[in-house]
Amino acid sequence: EAGVAQSPRYKIIEKRQSVAFWCNPISGHATLYWYQQILGQGPKLLIQFQNNGVVDDSQLPKDRFSAERLKGVDSTLKIQPAKLEDSAVYLCASTLTIGDTQYFGPGTRLTVL
């Protein structure tokens, strides 16, 4: 069974630029999560989707971050414009349904200069 796929693995941008990350969850998994992991900290949930609907985006900085999961499968997370403090690893995870064990992708490491 293929795992959660993410791309790119690494991204370096300058502040005020835009960036997008892509996630392909495990086949058949209805629930998808985006986390932000800042160096030295644990992952923090940014947004949770159930199929193509948002369940929880209470910690998403909506002035600069956006995410979508239009067909209930793949998802993209966008930052526009990026700030220095957005430097982090962005992790995607999926579950068969809400409450199941979360399976994590390898993450995208973003560096904002």
Partner 1 sequence: AQSVTQLGSHVSVSEGALVLLRCNYSSSVPPYLFWYVQYPNQGLQLLLKYTTGATLVKGINGFEAEFKKSETSFHLTKPSAHMSDAAEYFCAVSDGKNYGGSQGNLIFGKGTKLSVKP
| 102 binds partner 1, rule: CB under 8 A | yes
| 104 binds partner 1, rule: CB under 8 A | yes
Chosen residue from 56, 83, 85, 113 binding partner 1 by CB under 8 A: 56
Residue whose entry in the numeric block shows the structure tokens 């069974």: 1
Q: How far apart are CA 111 and CA 29, in angstroms?
A: 29
| 84 binds partner 1, rule: CB under 8 A | no
Chosen residue from 4, 19, 60, 77 binding partner 1 by CB under 8 A: 4
Instruction: Indicate the burial class of 79 (C-beta count within 10 angstroms; 0-12, 13-18, 19 or more).
Output: buried
Chosen residue from 21, 77, 79, 105 binding partner 1 by CB under 8 A: 105
Q: How far apart are CA 65 and CA 100, in angstroms?
A: 26
Residue whose entry in the numeric block shows the structure tokens 């993450």: 107
Peptide bond just before 81 cis, omega within 30 deg:
yes
| 93 binds partner 1, rule: CB under 8 A | yes
Q: How far is the CB of 83 from partner 1 (least distance, A)?
A: 22
Return residues touching partner 1 (CB under 8 A).
4, 33, 40-45, 48, 55-56, 91, 93, 97-107
